[in-house]
Chains A and B, each alone.
Chain A
Amino acid sequence: MVYVIGCHLTDFNRRKDGSSYRDWVYETFEASLAMSSLERKDIDTLIISTESDFFTFQLNPSTVIADDLGLHKVQIVRVEGGGASGQLAVHQGVKSILSKQSQHVAIIGFDPSASYLPSETVKQLYSNSFDSLTDGMNGVTATALYALSIQLFMKKTGLNETDLANATINNRNNALHNPSAHLKLKHNQQEIFASPVISSPYRRLHCSPLSDGAASLILTNKKPLNRISAPNIIGIGSANDMVNLGARDDVGEFVSKKEAMKKASSMAGIRANEIGFAEVYDAYAGAQFQAIKALGLSSDFLKDFRDGHFSLDGKLPINISGGLMGQGAPVGATGVGQTATCAMLLEGKYHKNLQIKNIPKFALADTHGGVGTLSAVSILKSNI
């Protein structure tokens, strides 16, 4: 079994305090280690998730981080899979424990996605996070590709611009109660409809921000006797779809997510409708709906959304952290942070105003890279 005995997220925001990503990594690791009751010398494996050396100005960052954290003679792995990097790092940690290669694993995700490079440079780099021969040459942005995908999804499902606005309002409202969130904003529909169109139907306020920040987990292979409430990770799964949108069987559907969920559910031995809480990858307002449908979390996602079932007091709360749209997205940290959020919530240790009173049995963390190109999901189980 795999137990989550330490978890932490730093603030996600645009840092203006002169701190470095190496400070954030130190901060989050120390916090997780303290929560785990382990000592530094107990950690035998370090797994690092960071999307791009362009952001950090540091090649081979894992070894530098290990030195900063005082971890020596440990296994070190760096995991990268675009936006899915953090969740894939979680998977690597789980696999390492289940294969008995490791006993105590530290997983740290980070990226200085906001403050190190000008936003125009970041946008240019992201054009190359799709197929650099085709989309990269065209200069098409991530927002434009997501927009093409959601347009077909909207035509097919009846999702409309009011739903996009309401999803934005909900997630940013949740972020108001999350002290570490990047965009703690109270929006109304008029503000959203008045914000500039980046790539129709997506307006500026429908987009998640790129953030600075780090998140961490400590996993272990034995039930901690001093904390029997520590949750388990019981299912992991990942899958891909074609990078070029036009080559996909269905441009509007996140098929990779469906496949990833199938694998994770099978490993966990549960059905998607048993999930009681989910953090899903809402890089854009519409992506949240594409995710919910693909993951099989609802048989009628639009009705459930409009009826308020995905809100904090609904039957299946989703993105109560604020999601990427509210909490923010330091790319390598995102998936680690989503899993950490699930773990805290399942143990009743989440932020006071966001903690679900009736703790669900199962939670889901869902992450992807590209436009649902590489999806990775993890299922956690409560021990309360």
Chain B
Amino acid sequence: MPFTMMNRLYITVILAIACMYIANAQTTNNLTGSPYSLYGLGVFNEANLGKTNALGKSGVAFGSTYELNNLNPASLGSIFKKSFMFDIGINGEMDTYQNNKSDDSKVRTNFANLAVAFPVTPKSAVSIVLTPYSNVGYELIGLQTNVEGSTETYTTYVNGSGGLNSFKASYGIALNKAIRLGGSLEYIFGAIDENEVITYNNSYLYIDRNTYYKNLRAAVGAQIDVNEKFGFGATVKFPTSLHASQNIEVSKIIDLASITVSDDEELEIDNFDLPFEFAVGFRKTFADKFTINADYKRSLWGTTDQTDNLGTFKDKDFIGVGFEYLKSDRSFKYWDRVRYRGGFCYDNGYLTINDETIDNKALTLGLGLPLSLRNNSFINISYSYGKRGVVSSSLVKENYHMVSINLSLENMWFVKNKIN
């Protein structure tokens, strides 16, 4: 039985550390600096585990044999029976923004994921994955607005921080050599903090909105291998409604003194609906060295019937394509065992703002650096360069460079246990 007391302890400790880390990260750091994160729940986290970051953020058809694949729970059915997998990642992002008034840039780093997976039967496995779900991090200054009924203007400063987290438990089983099925239950929770300061003459109005979201979301997946080198995958994520409550604290500074205007806690506000989503993809390996894969994903935001203050929700299409080269994983030359990856992805966004969509495109590159010949442990480094939005009067074009580093470990602790 691979799941020993020792490992249970490890898992507990790791999860505890991760929880602290995530809690800390949410209050002190924002992964994204995107001004687009002020819409909805923020910018949805696209970084994932292992290699998929470098493969155009796609890979629903990959198994979890060598690296934990978080895109499809069915992949867990392919975990070797004595394998214990662990994946931890961090992200660094440098963003530059541009509209037709100004530009700016910033750098941020953050926790990306923490995951463990282990078999429960020879043909099935579970994984527990903790990732950011969405990130909010924006700061807008000097917004001039007319005072209604006057020729004067007031100035608004807005900033937002926080985001949602995902704690996901998945189960996957191999029905036979060719077909794997899986399902997952995800607890999405977190808080978004928005601050707004209005200045008018020497008066200030300060509005602090803390919105809390939480609910469960279910997903299922399937993978079909035509043969070892060719396979398909598909996932379906079911709609859910994130329960929302809000604390609003309003205060003003007048005559250089601060006055509480109102302080309301746990106000019921509209739930945030996550849509029905489905993804399909394939993988194909040529000449034992080249693997290509592609995903298509559609998120039916249009059917959630939600509106943002300025944006309208619309269905989002995502296309991701990845490519991997591996000379030989048995070679004694280290660089022969390194996996070289590339890819690109495109999505047309889930929001329309002033009849303009905020599309997003990115090029990805990556390396999978093996740590050992004896197991499937890697350091996965990926880099992506992307563009979001357009330059216009009301929208912002954002260029981002993202580096993510994942430590994907397999079996290492079990090996030691066996020796002991």
Say if A and B assemble together.
no
Which B residues contact A (CB, under 8 angstroms)?
none
